Amino acid sequence: MKTSVDVKLKEYNLDLLEEEYDRISIFIEDAKKLNRICIHLNKLTKGAILKAINSKEFEKKSCGDVLTLSFPGALQAKYLDLVKWAKSGQPNDARKAGVNLAKKSNNSKILVSANTQKFSEELIKGYLLRRYEFSNYKTAEDKGLGSVTLMLKRPKDFEKSLSETKAIVDGVFFTRNLVNEPANILNTVEFSNRLQELSTLGIDVEILEEKKLAELGMNALLGVGQGSANPSKVVVMSWKGLSQDTKPLALVGKGVVFDTGGISLKLAGGMEDMTMDMGGAGVVAGTMLSLAKRKAKANVVGLVGLVENMPSSTAQRPGDIVKSMKGDTIEVINTDAEGRLVLSDLLWYTQERFNPAGIIDLATLTGAIIVALGYENAGVFSNDDDFCNSFLKVANQENEGAWRMPLGASYDKKLKSRLADIKNVGGRDAGAITAAQFIQRFIKKDMPWIHIDIAGAAHTKSESAFAPAGATGWGVMSLNRLVSEKFENNK
């Protein structure tokens, strides 16, 4: 439950530059007016820095980009990274610089001089986020992720910011680890066990087993998992940072640990990626960990529905009709549209039990959202403009792509069933929207609600802005920031 990169803070000291670090990284803000560090290093490298920063190669680089010098003069370090910076540099530029330095660090011991860098928090966040690796099942020796020493003028002043940053990164890593795990390891039982461990951080964790779910009438959720040997579960995580009188924010996640499509079986090509179909639950879990680690002064509940969608003699069939906890009947046209069935019961239960101040659900729900937005943006649907705009603002600040999608009663006709109150699919066109319309049916009147389809954003084949290929941990930083700005008592 912690990052694997060791971060040390050191006070500004020229002598550090001559110690045995694998890499030294410095910021170049003005090529014509070098600071003391650059002047000192330029002497040690016999003018190599001045030559490099006046080159066309460095001139072409943008703020946050890095030019590396190999075996630089009399330095003990093997590499010297020159980070291009500008007085107009923004927080995302600093995070970009951290990412670029991390990509070059290669399990090494590095020193970063940030004495001219006012966005040190974003710098180290970018570095830590990109240093992530998931190598649990590789038999080669694990050499670790190295260490980074941040040299600052007043390191004591940065200790609190570093602690909060590491809490956020730990949450992102927790999410990534869950999403990257194979389904033979992370089944519903193992998933719930890992969430139970969050109780050591002060989170109240409650696990609802199938018998209890049946008593509650969660037949839509149970129907998805009835073909699996692994039991369906609901895990409730409560972080109480304020008085009991304060309504909590509710985070709700789809946790399909593996999705074959059920009887409506998926094609074989790409099915191995369906280990990430619990991505929504992973984001909820990672966010809860971050809030607890930084002791957020807010009340937040996280609920995840853990199921496995398998084909078997006991599996749900196309054409089956189930009665949801709300009481609405659902005709299951396609068993591969299972996430909305899980969420329908989970969302209703959340409202009945907690009556939250607002609800955000997250799910790797539809391939249609990938067609619409690609892998760069999650699709955001909402019944409340202010709530939605607050989320879109923080997602933009965290550089986590999010784009609002439409809702409308005109889409409901596509979900009309001849035999039941509603059917679970509405056809190929507007697939992500009709899925959101289905979920909205289980949101009570006047309940502020956001639905986020993270099918493209949760897991990528190639590296993303802050992560190597695989699980991205998308959403943890945005949700944490939303809690901090809108739900947390900072007085």
Residue type, 434: T
Sequence-distant (6+) residues with CB within 8 A of 254 are 277, 278, 279, 280, 281, 304, 305, 339, 342, 343, 361, 362, 363, 364, 365
First to last CA, the chain: 29
| Given the residues 194, 240, 266, 393, the one annotated as active site | 266
Query: Quick one: pLDDT at residue 189?
Result: 98
Q: What is the pLDDT of residue 209?
A: 98
For CATH 3.40.630.10, the residue range(s) in the chain are 169-487
Q: Which residues, at least 6 apart from 306, have a Cβ–Cβ distance to it below 8 Å?
A: 188, 191, 192, 232, 233, 234, 235, 255, 257, 278, 281
Q: Return contacts of 467-472, CB within 8 angstroms, 24+ apart.
A: 467/129, 467/130, 467/132, 467/176, 468/130, 468/132, 468/133, 470/134, 470/176, 470/179, 470/180, 471/134, 471/175, 471/176, 471/177, 471/178, 471/179, 471/180, 471/276, 471/279, 471/282, 472/176
Block residue for tokens 């990672």: 286
Which stretches of 356-427 are DSSP H helices?
Answer: 368-373, 385-397
Q: Please state, in angstroms and rounded to a whole number, the distance separating the CA atoms of residues 57 and 349.
A: 58
At 2 the pLDDT is: 52
- At residue 116, the pLDDT reads 57
CA–CA distance, 416 with 147 (Å, rounded to integer): 57
In terms of Cβ atoms closer than 10 Å to its own Cβ (0-12, 13-18, 19+), residue 107 is middle
pLDDT along the chain (491 residues), means of 10: 77 89 92 87 93 95 96 91 93 95 88 80 96 90 81 93 96 98 98 98 98 98 98 98 93 98 97 98 98 98 98 98 98 98 98 98 98 97 98 97 97 98 96 98 98 98 93 98 91 44
The SS3 call for residue 22 is coil
Give the angle 105-149-123 at the CA atoms, nearest 5°: 70
Q: Is 141 exposed, middle or buried (0-12, 13-18, 19+ CB in 10 A)?
A: exposed
Of 409, 410, 407, 413, the residue nearest 432 (C-alpha)? 407
Assigned CATH class of 169-487? alpha beta
Return the H-helix or E-strand segment holding 236: strand 233-240
CA separation for the pair 146, 354 (Å, rounded): 44
Pair type for strands 449-453 and 378-382 = antiparallel
- Does this model's pTM top 0.85? yes
| Tokens, residue 374 | 């690609």
Strands 249-259 and 299-309: parallel
Q: Which two tokens stand for residue 449?
A: 């609600």
Distance, CA of 89 to chain centre: 25
What pLDDT was estimated at residue 1?
Answer: 45
Instruction: Determine the pLDDT at residue 108.
Output: 82
Half-sphere exposure of residue 100, counting CA atoms within 13 Å on the CB side? 22
**CATH number of the structural domain 7-152:** 3.40.220.10
Closest C-alpha among 304, 284, 251, 94 to residue 171: 284
Cβ contacts of 161 within 8 Å, gap of 6 or more: 120, 121
In 3D space, the residue among 63, 66, 72 whose CA is nearest the CA of residue 42 turns out to be 72
Q: Which of 23, 130, 340, 481 is catalytic?
A: 340
In this structure, the number of other CB atoms found within 10 A of the CB of residue 91 comes to 17
pLDDT of residue 91: 92
pLDDT at 98 (0 to 100)? 96
Give residue 475's Cα distance to chain centre.
Answer: 4
Amino acid 491: pLDDT:
44
Q: Where, residue-wise, is CATH 3.40.220.10 in the chain? A: 7-152
Residue 60 designated active-site: no
340 is catalytic: yes
Return the half-sphere exposure (C-beta side, CA atoms, 13 A cut-off) of residue 263.
17
